[in-house]
Amino acid sequence: MRTKRLASALIAALAMAASVSQANDWDDTLSAAKGQTVYFNAWGGSDAINSYISWAGEQVEQRYGVKVEQVKITDAAAVVARILAEKTADRNSDGSVDLIWVNGENFRTLKTNGLLQAPWTQDLPNYAFVDTENKATTTLDFGEPVDNLEAPWGMAQLVFIYDSAQLAEPPRSMQALLEHAQANVGRVSYAKPPNFHGTTFIKQALTELTNDAEALQHPAEESDSAAVTAPLWAYLDQLHPVLWRSGKNFPADGEKTRQLLDDGELDIAMTFNPSEASRAIADGQLADTVRTYIHDGGTIGNTHFVAIPYNAKASEGAKVLADFLMSAEAQARKATPEIWGDPTVLAINKLDAKAQQLFADVPRGVATLSPAELSPTLPEPHASWVQLLEDEWQKRYGQ
């Protein structure tokens, strides 16, 4: 018994020492970050998101003395290419990017080319509250293990939008969608790949229709991709002739499908933000009878991340910003529909009562599904499938 007590005491002492050491390390990071300017390369196509990033930057500067400059980008792949070019040119300590909003195939490219800073997210205080147990997408990025190389800061999931005053019961599977389109010619469409929403639509269809869903979680080159994808192309061959404009033209993106829904041209729109419809209703862009839904078998979801390049000039400041973006305060603000409406990466039950109340106070919005209603969330196919699907789609249906 005495031996057991001594062992327990030793374990407790070691845990306390590790905690103190981690706190000291974080204090060192905060000290080194003070006065740094973080160049945060992030998509700049949304005024709401840009405003949120601006707010986060103001908070980090006021609290920690770290200045944040958002570099508004349209394509993360171009930033990845720039980092790769810097490595080729031996620009190894004064990179132009300190933090990048990234996921999917771009993360895989950064990781496989050694363009990321050594594992770091496990050292951030707020990472302890991330839901790594129930949200597999916080540790797997399009099938690629995250390995603490990027910090999660938001969730997304494909949801479909419809007007309940015009459509009593929406189709809740790809097969049901085909049947609806055949019975209502010209009333269905989807965004044109390689637009993100369009590619997600065909990934959703593939996930539901393929006879080998397990293959989608592994690199495409490890399977018979033609056999895996054959049911998708057979499905689209049936769907396209009865689409809006006979499948000869496609909406440019998810927002355009929403506009066509509001104009009465389409029965169904799509978005990757479960709160977007509620925000559009509040802004007068959609009727208040509009609602959202997912398919009975679930829809694809993922986590978006921020990563630090291997040659960042302000890596400490980048860590401070990434940690703040995972804080309960920042996550609850981001989850508010009129601000962004981005679902949290945190496990609410890990938070203290005050932090939990922040999320309890977030208005969900009339068209926003609850976490239970958004279940199940289907995993993204491995990143290697994206280019294969987009290339084949273009070959078969591109105009």
**pLDDT value at residue 25:** 92
**pLDDT band, residue 115 (cuts 50/70/90):** very high
Of 36 and 4, more confident = 36
**pLDDT value at residue 22:** 63
Nearest CA-CA partner of 37 in 316, 326, 323, 308: 316
Is 388:361 a contact under the CB 8 Å cutoff?
no
144-184 per-position pLDDT tens digit: 899 999 999 999 999 999 999 999 999 999 999 999 999 99
Give the C-alpha separation, 285 to 275, whole Å.
14
Report all structural domains of the chain as residue ranges with CATH numbers, in order of start: 29-155+302-365 (3.40.190.10), 159-301+378-397 (3.40.190.10)
**pLDDT value at residue 355:** 96
Residue partners of 13: CB distance under 8 A and separation at least 6? none
**pLDDT value at residue 298:** 92
Kindly report the pTM of this predicted structure.
0.78
CA distances from 36 to 29, 48, 51, 320 (A): 11, 26, 21, 10
Residue 16 has pLDDT above 70, yes or no: no
Nearest CA-CA partner of 344 in 336, 352, 335, 353: 335
Q: Give burial (CB, 10 Å; 0-12/13-18/19+) of 152.
A: buried
Q: Which phi and psi angles does 6 have, rounded to 5°?
A: -65, -40
Residue 9 has pLDDT above 80, yes or no: no
**pLDDT band, residue 18 (cuts 50/70/90):** very low
210-239 per-position pLDDT tens digit: 999 999 999 999 999 999 999 999 999 999
Nearest CA-CA partner of 73 in 40, 28, 113, 95: 40
